[in-house]
Amino acid sequence: MTKSNDLDPWLGEKPEEKPKAEKQVDTKSEEVVEATAEPEPVVDSADSVTTDPDEGSGPISDADNVDENSGDDEPTEWTPTVVPAKTRSGRDTIELYTARKGAKDVTFIQRSEATYVPSEPKFYVAPKPEDEEDKPEFGFPEVAENSQRLFIAIEIPRKLKREFSNLANSFRPREFDRVRWIEEDAMHLTLKFLGDTSIDLIPDIETALERAAESTGIFTVKIGRTGCFPSFVDPRICWVGFTGELRRLEQLQGRVEGRMVALGLEEDDREFRAHITVGRTRPGIRGRFAEDIGISWQHAPLRTTGQEVPVNAIALYRSYLADKGDTQYQQLGNYPLG
């Protein structure tokens, strides 16, 4: 026999379903609750009461489990949800100042308009390139005792030297000052640079050059275009090249090189490229400043391109430092070809 006819299924009518209380679960602490939850209390079917573990030993009836909102009370007032406006970055938040454009960190960073100024100015010093040669240039003041600085070259007409020297006038003032321009007297088609050479060896050098010239016939070369070593982007030397019978010129240079090496002088392992040096970039001129020089020299108005230059002799030159401090050139011998 049951305690209440409302719960008796034998009476034809379906019993009322009691509303269940909604269970609010905190998703963030769900794992912690499951780990620390105490075992459910045992329900005594005879008394039909339960014991709330949070309230202690106080009995709770079935009527207390009914939802408070399930009655006939009036519903609470509905309040619309405020939707935040979209920002330019597509976020549902207030657009805050960020350190850089497109940054993901939308936290406020205080910035100052002041610019840091060091107490002592720092000057940029360009490092010396590893491939830069340390060989002395013509007219270097320190010359070994009982020796002379010598080189072997082909003389070119004075008119062409003046033309090459005037190419520097096409440069802008700032670019002009970044180049150390060669004097007209120092412009030669160099076949070999001997450097500091003992005075006692000069007679043997003259004899070797005479024999090398006799075994070579007269030929002609032509003025080419402007160029830079190693390139127009990073110019170190501004020069004017040659075209024409370059094969004959290379043969003459090879004979001179071979006879100088036979005398015990140092061999030059670099490839021979016929040119006349017109200018050298000053130390420390690199990067954009050097590139501007290369572009200006590449477009320099060289009007003597294609002009023929007869090669009919080779000469031995000596370079030395004069009393006034400028470099002078003295011709020690001239040896006609063929």
Sheet holding 327-336, edge to edge: 189-198, 147-154, 313-321, 327-336
Q: What's the whole-model pTM score?
A: 0.58
Give the whole-angstrom CA distance, residue 299 versus residue 172: 13
Quote the pLDDT of residue 20.
Answer: 54
Quote the pLDDT of residue 252.
Answer: 96
Residue 328 burial (C-beta neighbours within 10 Å; 0-12, 13-18, 19+): middle
CA dihedral angle for residue 221, residue 226, residue 230, residue 233, rounded to 10 degrees: -160
DSSP secondary-structure letter at 197?
E
Reading the chain (338 residues) residue by residue, the pLDDT tens digits are 445 455 555 445 555 555 555 545 444 444 444 444 455 544 444 444 444 444 444 444 444 444 444 445 555 677 776 666 655 555 544 444 444 445 454 454 454 444 544 555 444 445 555 555 544 444 444 666 789 999 999 999 999 999 999 999 999 998 999 999 999 988 999 999 999 999 999 999 999 999 999 999 999 999 999 999 999 999 999 999 999 999 999 999 999 999 999 999 999 888 999 999 999 999 999 999 999 999 999 999 999 999 999 999 999 999 988 777 678 889 999 999 98
- What structural domains and CATH numbers belong to the chain? 147-336 (3.90.1140.10)
Phi, psi of 96 (to 5 degrees): -105, 165
Give the whole-angstrom CA distance, residue 35 versus residue 37: 6
Give the whole-angstrom CA distance, residue 151 versus residue 260: 11
Quote the pLDDT of residue 326.
Answer: 77
Phi, psi of 337 (to 5 degrees): -80, 150
Helix, strand, coil shares of the chain as percentages rounded to 5? 25, 25, 50
Strand pairing partners for 149?
196, 319
Quote the pLDDT of residue 35.
Answer: 46
